[in-house]
Amino acid sequence: MARRVGEVEEVRQTGGVETQLSIEQSDPSGVLAPNRPTLTAPQTRVVDGIGYTLGQILTPFASGEYRPFWVGIGQVGFYAWAILAATFYIRPVIGQKTWRFLHYGSFGMYLLGISHGIFSGTDASAPWAQNYYWISAGSLLFLLMYRILASMADKFFPQNKKPAAPAPRPTQG
């Protein structure tokens, strides 16, 4: 099926989000790849007439009618993620202690993101989304508790560590 340059085709609709991809011919002459489209310029918009302006997308808690608090929580989580991601590149400048302190914030960032998904996600009730939320939150909680308990065990039960070697005694000569 031949497609014209700039033709827009609706690709799929899942859970309230409709994705449109602009389709262009990969070779305008059709000699090298006849009828083989390339996908360019993905555009996503929310279905059911919710639509967002650029200001609403960039400003937390300004999403309008659709669950503004939970959408805002997700936007704050996104900004926190962007800051944390940037710190990987400036780690030598800010130092190890500051970097580590900032990265403890990733727990809060995760809570913001998962709260956003559960309370404003259009697919939150779908089985695959429920599995994702339970598995990711459960594994995070398990590993966090393991780390806390392991560090406490090292403090309260130091016999697992090797004792320091005694200092050599001076010899009489």
Residues 66 and 141 in one domain: yes
Residue 45: per-residue pLDDT: 47
Say if 68 falls within a structural domain: yes
- Looking at the structure, tell me whether residues 114 and 141 fall in a common domain: yes
**Cα 88–chain centre separation:** 15
* Count: domains in the chain: 2
> Is there a contact between 133 and 118 (Cβ–Cβ < 8 Å)?
yes
Please, what is the average pLDDT of the chain?
Answer: 75
Query: What digits encode the pLDDT tens for the residues 32-54?
Result: 444 444 444 444 444 344 577 78
pLDDT on residue 34: 46
Question: Does the residue 166 lie in any domain?
Answer: no
Predicted TM-score (pTM) of this structure: 0.58
Asked if 58 and 42 sit in the same domain, the reply is: no
User: Does the pLDDT of residue 27 top 70, yes or no?
Assistant: no
Amino acid 56: pLDDT: 83
Based on the fold, state whether residues 103 and 152 are members of the same structural domain.
Answer: yes
Looking at the structure, tell me whether residues 40 and 73 fall in a common domain.
no
In terms of domains, do 64 and 40 share one?
A: no
Cα(167)–Cα(159) distance, rounded to whole angstroms?
A: 20
Total Cβ atoms within 10 A of residue 141: 10
Residue 2: inside a domain, yes or no? no
127 belongs to a structural domain: yes
The range of the structural domain enclosing residue 127 comes to 54-156
Is 167 part of a structural domain of the chain?
no
Domain check: are 66 and 111 in the same one? yes
Let me know whether 93 and 24 are in one domain.
no
Query: Which pLDDT band, with edges at 50, 70 and 90, does 128 fall under?
Result: very high
- Residue appearing with tokens 């009489």: 172
Percent of the chain with pLDDT over 90: 41
Residues 42 and 76 in one domain: no
Strands 7-14 and 37-46: unpaired
Residues 19 and 79 in one domain: no
CB atoms within 10 A of CB 116: 22
8 A C-beta contact, residue 60 and residue 76: yes
High-pLDDT (> 70) share of the chain, %: 67
Strands 17-25 and 7-14, how do they pair? antiparallel
